Homo-oligomer: A and B are copies of this chain.
Amino acid sequence: MLRTQGTIRLPRRLLLLACPVLSLALVAASPPGAAGGNRAEVVLTRPGGVEYAIAIHGGAGVIPKSLPEAEKQEYLHALEAALRLGQGVLDAGGSSLDAVEKVVRALEDDPKFNAGKGAVYTRDGRHEMDAAIMSGRDLACGAVAGVSTVRNPISLARLVMERTPHVLLAGAGAERFADEMKVPREPASYFDTPKRYREWQEFLEKERRKSARPGETHGTVGAVALDRHGDLAAATSTGGTTGKLSGRIGDSPIVGAGTYADNRTCAISATGAGEEFIRHGVARDISALMEYGGLTLAQAADKVIHGKLKPGDGGVIGVAHDGSIALVFNSQGMFRGAADSSGRFEVRIWE
């Protein structure tokens, strides 16, 4: 039995032996044939739970293990820096909403991730970005879709939540709202990066050969957190999928699909094949399995990611009301990190 500060981590097999009731639930939550990808970590928090917890992601998908070491280190350093930002807010007693917004802004500003600077190209060579933020305390939420000049879409989403009676603003209307709110704007060239340009050119070349499908290149950034006040929050931001049709909205800004937070259950941010996450209502489904099915966050996330989605579709990060963390994906890898008040601090790419 491993024991780290404040957290008891049990290998899954040991846990199954130790607790027949829980193991039954875990087995029930494990669909046949769902091999591959990463099972939720089963983390038992100490009685009383941790005081705060945070998880972040920088997208799931095909991430070859042949990734050059220097590039791998760049990703891990970026994740670590973003995670420390969020942890700093929470450790100082700040709100989970502030923590997840701050983390997502940092990842939006980093050209390596598909959100803000570094967003992928649409089929016709534009950047159209989506983002959502949600507060678990009161189910307040705000989102933007198809913005192309806003430096930090996640902060515009928060303004939709706080300054309008609406939840989701899209396209030209969202841009006009950005004018009114006077948020920082950028020309299209700011969002351009050579890597995403190459991916767009490859998409167009495949399209000419009739083998292209939008969605082969995707990625998202997100954060979920529990603060010292017991409030959960979730935030997600993305450039969408390379080669998407102009006007396409993915799961990230759809409350219940790519983003959800409810203090009674959990906060979730998803990344992957957006249309699949919308049709399954992934984030809300995990929350519902906890609320109505009596599953833990880890069991619920496993059931949805490995039992309902197809291998390769993507993954989620989640924090439950008790501070437990789930990092679950059925793709080759997921850029991710997790930290809590017990001293846990980790960033990873593959299993």
| A279 located at the interface, meaning its Cβ lies under 8 Å from any Cβ of chain B in the complex | yes
**In contact, B141 and A279 (Cβ under 8 angstroms):** yes
**In contact, A145 and B165 (Cβ under 8 angstroms):** no
| A39 located at the interface, meaning its Cβ lies under 8 Å from any Cβ of chain B in the complex | no
**In contact, A167 and B284 (Cβ under 8 angstroms):** no
A172 cross-chain contacts in B, Cβ below 8 A: 171-172, 246-247
Report if A275-B167 is in contact (Cβ < 8 Å); known contacts: A288-B284, A292-B292.
yes
Please give me the residue from chain B that is nearest to A275 by CB atom.
Answer: B167
Complex Cα distance A293/B139, Å? 21
Complex Cα distance A285/B173, Å? 29
Complex Cα distance A175/B260, Å? 29
**In contact, A247 and B167 (Cβ under 8 angstroms):** no
**In contact, A146 and B170 (Cβ under 8 angstroms):** yes
**In contact, A169 and B245 (Cβ under 8 angstroms):** yes
A248 cross-chain contacts in B, Cβ below 8 A: 164, 166, 168-169, 173
**Total A residues in contact with B, Cβ cutoff 8 Å:** 48
Interface 1/0 per residue, A165-193 and B, CB below 8 Å: 11111111111110000000000000000
Interface 1/0 per residue, A249-273 and B, CB below 8 Å: 1000011110010000000000000
Number of copies: 2
Complex Cα distance A164/B164, Å? 32
Interface 1/0 per residue, A70-112 and B, CB below 8 Å: 0000000000000000000000000000000000000000000
**What is the CB-to-nearest-CB distance from A31 to chain B, in angstroms, rounded to a whole number?**
15
| A289 located at the interface, meaning its Cβ lies under 8 Å from any Cβ of chain B in the complex | yes
**What is the CB-to-nearest-CB distance from A163 to chain B, in angstroms, rounded to a whole number?**
10
A279 cross-chain contacts in B, Cβ below 8 A: 134, 139-141, 167, 255
**In contact, B170 and A145 (Cβ under 8 angstroms):** yes
Q: Which of B165, B213, B260, B275 contacts A215 (CB 8 A)?
A: B165
Residues from 92 to 145 in A contacting B, C-beta threshold 8 Å: 128, 134, 139-141, 145
**What is the CB-to-nearest-CB distance from A84 to chain B, in angstroms, rounded to a whole number?**
31
A293 cross-chain contacts in B, Cβ below 8 A: 292-293
| A34 located at the interface, meaning its Cβ lies under 8 Å from any Cβ of chain B in the complex | no
**In contact, A278 and B167 (Cβ under 8 angstroms):** yes
Complex Cα distance A279/B143, Å? 11
**21 A–B pairs (Cβ distance < 8 Å), ordered by A:** A139-B280, A165-B214, A166-B214, A166-B245, A166-B248, A167-B274, A167-B278, A167-B279, A169-B248, A170-B249, A172-B246, A173-B245, A173-B247, A173-B248, A175-B247, A177-B247, A255-B281, A256-B284, A288-B289, A289-B292, A292-B292
Interface residues, chain A, with chain B CB atoms under 8 Å away: 128, 134, 139-141, 145-146, 164-177, 213-215, 244-249, 254-257, 260, 274-275, 278-281, 284-285, 288-289, 291-293
